[in-house]
Structures are given as C-alpha cells and as structure tokens.
Structure 1
Amino acid sequence: MTFDPNADISGGRVRRRGRTAGIAAGGVGLGAVVILLVSQLLGVDLTGLVGGDASGGTQQIGTGDQAVDCTTGAEANASVDCRMKGAAASLEAYWSSAAPQLGATYSSPEFILFDGQTGTGCGSATSAVGPFYCPPDRTLYVDTGFFDELRSRFGASGGPLAEMYVVAHEWGHHIQNIGGIMEQHSGRETGPASDSVRTELQADCFAGSWAGAASSTDDPSGRPFLEPITDEQIADALSAAAAVGDDRIQQASTGRVDPEGWTHGSAEQRQRWFTTGFRQGAAACDTFAVPASRL
C-alpha cells in the first residue's frame, strides 16, 4: 500500500518513546484484566508482564516522548516511523466519519512507538507482548520491530499494508472502547465463539473497513492519502492476519490445535472478517450478532 507522495500526513499523532522512558510502577487492576482480554494482536497472556504496586502509581524514567516529525506521503513510503504517522492520519480521517455512523462519539487515541519496554496505563510491558491497545489510557503501543517478527517468526509475507493492518486492528480496539463495545462484551471465556474471539475478529473487520476506504480517504487538502490497493498488497495483509491466527500459533508452539483455548480466532476467521470489512464496510462488522456456526 503506497502513500500518495504529496499527501499531507502532518495530522497523524504519533510519538516515539525513548528506550527507558515511562516504565510503569503501577497499572494493576482493571488494566491488567482488560489487557489480558482484548488488547493484544498475538493473544499472549500478559498477566506476568503487567507489573506494579498496589497504589497504581506510574514512575516516568528517561528521555520521554518525541513527536514523529514527517509531513508527506513520500516520507511515509520511505520510513516505518513516518508510515505509522501516515497510517494514523488516514485512520483518524476515516474513523472521524465512520465512527458516528456506528453510534460512537469519536475521539482520537494516542499512539506510541517504543523499543524494548515501556510503561502504559495497563502497567509495564515489553516488546514480547506484541502491539497492543490499552483501554484505560486509550493508547496504541507498537514496537515496530514486531513487523520483522511477522516475517521471520510468524511467516507472514510482510509489506506496508501488513504493517498498517496491525495498526488498524489496534485502532479498531479503540473504536470498540469509545463505542462501549468492550464494556458490553467483557467475558473472560475462551473458545472459537467466545466474546474474546468476537472482539478480536471485529477489530480485524474494522481494519478491513479502513483498508477498503483508504484510497478514497482524503488529507486536509482533498488529496487521497493512499494510492489504490493492489491485489498483492491485500495478500500481504491477509498473510499477516493468518500468521497470528490462534490455530497457527498453537500449532507452531505446541504442535496441536485446541479451539477451546482460542482468544483471537483462527487464521481463516481473521482473514474472512478482514475481507468482510474491506468489501462491506464497518457496518458489516457486528461479530457479536453472528451465530457461532457462521463466525
């Protein structure tokens, strides 16, 4: 997926956090529960990584955050940090219009790029947890090194749209958070038709809905942020979705597939719901209304 070189991405709100900045000393409680249920792309149990004291205080250490300083689509095509800023600008423009149509009052998330470890409203986290969205502080956290892992560890084909799919998925969790969906569907059960799986598949569908509209979503001057998506780029996004399916991860890590342990959905489910959003838009993403047999 390629940005129009002249597109204005300056409105994307992305910050790069210093390596030792913001190591949390708190964030237990609600944050720890929610981050386990719905925050991560990979479906990793983070209870051992969400740290803190009983007071819930946060200790800020290090150099702090620096705004990602890019302004054009050409920069987004050349740099992963600028691509994250371009994705944020496009997602912001898309959801500002799409969220109200779903009955949500739109507000922007924060977006932090980090390296190694960071503090969050959900507690401290390391790169091992993968990209995630923290509901209490309404922030996306992404270590861009994960995009290399998608290829080397999980076997995805890679590519810019695969990277932006990851961001769009986490942005989808923000839409669920501000729209009350997370609060309504907060069950802790696992399994192929559980609330956890339905939540993640809806985020995949929301990511697809953004991708389907991305080449017609305009910057402030009326220029589309992104050029039309090619079949190869769609294949890259679907490859990323499949690579982090519960069945793929279980097979690779344990040699067996146990649907009752699923939290995010199978590779096939994740691809199918991304495609549903891409073809039909966000209004088609009510995974909670679908019978288990059709999920």
Structure 2
Amino acid sequence: MVRFNPKARLDQSRVRDAGASGGRGPAGSGMRIPLPGGKGGIGGIVVLVILFLLARFLGLDLGLGGGTSGDSPAAQKPTSGLVQLRYEDCRSGADANTNQDCARLAIENSITAYWADALPELRDYDGGGARQFRAIDALYTFTGSVNTGCGPASSDVGPFYCPSDESIYLDTTFFDDVLERQLGGPDGVFVEFYVLAHEYGHHISNLIGSMGLVRTQETGPDSPGVRLELQADCFAGMWAAHASQTRDADGNLLIEELSKQDLDEALAAAAAVGDDRIQQTTQGRTNPESWTHGSAAQRQYWFTRGYKDGGCDTFAARTVQVR
C-alpha cells in the first residue's frame, strides 16, 4: 500500500470540494470513463468536447468556456459554496497516511510535481517548440452534480477532465458504486489514484497538443480517441514509475514507496474499464469497432509501457492494438 512521507508538506491550493447537490442528469463534459448503459465515462470523447476541440482548431467561439463566453451557462465553475472543510486539515504526509481525502490531495501534489519536470521531454504535437508546464486549474471532488467549464454534469458521468477549464472532476462515490459494484473492478486505495493520474494525463495531452488531433467521433481499437485514452493510461504509468521521487516545495519526498499491490490495483482498474470488459458485462458481447477507450489488454499494456520506458507516443504508433 502506498506510503507517504510523514514530513512532506501538502499544497491545498488546487484541490477543492464542491460538496453534494441534487443530480441534474449528465451533460456533455470532458474526457471520462465509459459507464454501463452509455451514461458516460473515463476518457470518452463526447460531443461537447469534440465541439470544443473543433472550435479551438478553427478559432471559433462556441461559448464553451474562456474568452468572452465566461458568463455562459456552459462556462460556469463551482466557485461558490465550496466545502473547504474536507481538505483543511490535510497538511502533511502523516495526514495522507491516515485519511483518504488527504491521500488524494497528496497524490495530486505528486502528479503535479512529476509533470512539472517531465513535460519538456515530451513531443510537441503542434510543432511550436518546448511547452511550458502549468498545473491543472483544480481538482474538484463532488457528489450529485457539479457545474464545470464544459457544462453541468452529474455523478452519472464518472471522473472526467474538462479541457475548457483545465480541471479534473471526481465523483467520490464512483469507485464503490460503479467501478467495484457494477463493473467488478478492484477495491483498493490506489484504484482512485490510477484514475486521477489518467485524468491528469489528459491535461498533459491538452498541453502538448495531442488532444487536438481528435477531431471526429471515429471509433475502433486504433481510432484517434482510443489513442488519446491510451496515451493518458501511459502517462499514468510514467508518473507511477517516478512517484517515489517526487518532492514537495521544501524538497521533501512526497511518497516513500509504491508497492506491487498498488501497481496490481492500477492494472486491475485499467482492465475493469476496458471497452471489451464493459461491453461483455452490460451487453453479453463485444464490438471492437465501437470502442472509444481501448480494450482491457490495451489499457494494461499502455499503462505498463509508460511505467517501463515512457514510450507514450500513441499517435505515432502504427497500431495501438495488442496482438
């Protein structure tokens, strides 16, 4: 089980809690996990995100957040009424060792610290030269529903990254209610951390320009959307390989150790949200041509690839399928 350095100092500035609210039904959001019944999912390319990427590519303003559209309903963020009590006592690695909320905050700190150093080594898909790292704007936890820069979303959509406001939204009931009970996924603390690292991977894809390569809703095991999802899994593996080297602002190590159990939980979670596993569970059959996230084998392979050698250029690979 992951162990945090008790002396590490935690940065609370980007982790916020939007509390609980009544569900409003799912809306087009960001990159997310495929859920049973077609309600949403980890990393899926939904209509609103496609519109966002097309708008950015064509220089159009479709009111999806930022620019002059900041007052539009789709651009709202949970900036008022935030329940900060959830994280206010999360100050050290010792707190992270005894409290899941504090552990979540510590993992966000670790992922941010890793990518601040690693981003310049990645390929720039826009050809504009070296990219400057910027952290996510925020990690919001919520239950029920939440406003985002990509529009209102309910718990039905699962965890997701919104490229419009560069924030991650995490429904904390997802792991027990959906991943474990509905999909038969693993029960372990590192499962959530894998998901968080995956969603942060989408932020990295956004920064380096590979997210902009996905401009259609094309599906299939080698489709651009699947390549983007597998890149996020690969980026999660890259972080996991270096997590025990990340440091706080004072130079203290944040994480003392990731165990084999932690990595096994990440791989089991990756398999549980594979398109083939979800289709088999919910429909009794699989249809590779409809895949939007990758199979269980693909997701496990690319997480492991990132962990072993950091070869995460899924868009340059001739195929991302696992033979």
TM over 0.5: yes
How far 1:49 moved relative to its partner? 10
How far 1:243 moved relative to its partner? 0.5
> How far apart are the structure 2 equivalents of 1:293 and 1:169?
17
Cα distance 1:289–1:20, how it changes in 2: closer, same or farther (>3 A)?
Answer: same
Contact 1:157–1:239 (Cα < 8 Å) also in 2: yes
Contact 1:22–1:61 (Cα < 8 Å) also in 2: no
Contact 1:247–1:259 (Cα < 8 Å) also in 2: yes
Residue 259 of structure 2 aligns with which residue? 230
- 1:40 aligns to 2:32 (yes or no): yes
Residue 251 of structure 1 aligns with which residue? 280
The 5 A counterparts of 1:60-139 are: 64-67=81-84, 68-69=87-88, 70-102=90-122, 103-109=130-136, 110-139=138-167
Count, aligned residues: 281
How far 1:45 moved relative to its partner? 5.4
Tell me the SS of whatever aligns to 2:140.
Answer: strand
Q: 2:184 aligns with which of 150, 155, 164?
A: 155
Contact 1:21–1:63 (Cα < 8 Å) also in 2: no
> How far apart are the structure 2 equivalents of 1:208 and 1:256?
29
Tell me the SS of whatever aligns to 2:204.
Answer: helix
- 1:141 aligns to 2:142 (yes or no): no
Contact 1:104–1:179 (Cα < 8 Å) also in 2: yes
Contact 1:156–1:236 (Cα < 8 Å) also in 2: no
Tell me the SS of whatever aligns to 2:4.
Answer: coil
- State the percentage of identical aligned residues: 45
How far 1:158 moved relative to its partner? 2.4
Q: String of CA shifts for 1:157-193, please: whole Å, max 9, x gaps.
A: 2222211010000000001112111112333200000
> How far apart are the structure 2 equivalents of 1:48 and 1:293?
24
Cα distance 1:48–1:212, how it changes in 2: closer, same or farther (>3 A)?
Answer: closer
In the superposition, the TM-score normalised over structure 1's length comes to 0.86
Greater CA drift, 98-107 or 195-204: 98-107
The 5 A counterparts of 1:149-228 are: 149-228=178-257
Residue 73 of structure 2 aligns with which residue? 57
Tell me the SS of whatever aligns to 1:113.
Answer: strand
Cα distance 1:118–1:185, how it changes in 2: closer, same or farther (>3 A)?
Answer: same
Gaps in structure 2 of 5+ consecutive residues: 41-45, 50-62, 123-129
Q: String of CA shifts for 1:140-166, please: whole Å, max 9, x gaps.
A: 000111121322222222222211010
Cα distance 1:262–1:48, how it changes in 2: closer, same or farther (>3 A)?
Answer: closer
**Structure 1 consecutive aligned stretches of length 4 or more whose deviation exceeds 3 Å:** 20-24, 43-50, 53-56, 58-63
In the superposition, the TM-score normalised over structure 2's length comes to 0.79
Q: String of CA shifts for 1:1-40, please: whole Å, max 9, x gaps.
A: 221222222256200003239989xxx9xxx4x73xxx00
Gaps in structure 1 of 5+ consecutive residues: none
Contact 2:233–2:302 (Cα < 8 Å) also in 1: yes
Greater CA drift, 11-20 or 267-276: 11-20
Cα distance 1:293–1:18, how it changes in 2: closer, same or farther (>3 A)?
Answer: closer
Q: String of CA shifts for 1:182-234, please: whole Å, max 9, x gaps.
A: 11233320000000100000000000100000011112232221122211111
Tell me the SS of whatever aligns to 1:18.
Answer: strand
> How far apart are the structure 1 equivalents of 2:199 and 2:145?
18
How far 1:238 moved relative to its partner? 0.5
Tell me the SS of whatever aligns to 2:135.
Answer: coil
Contact 2:314–2:320 (Cα < 8 Å) also in 1: no
Coordinate RMSD, CA, aligned: 2.8
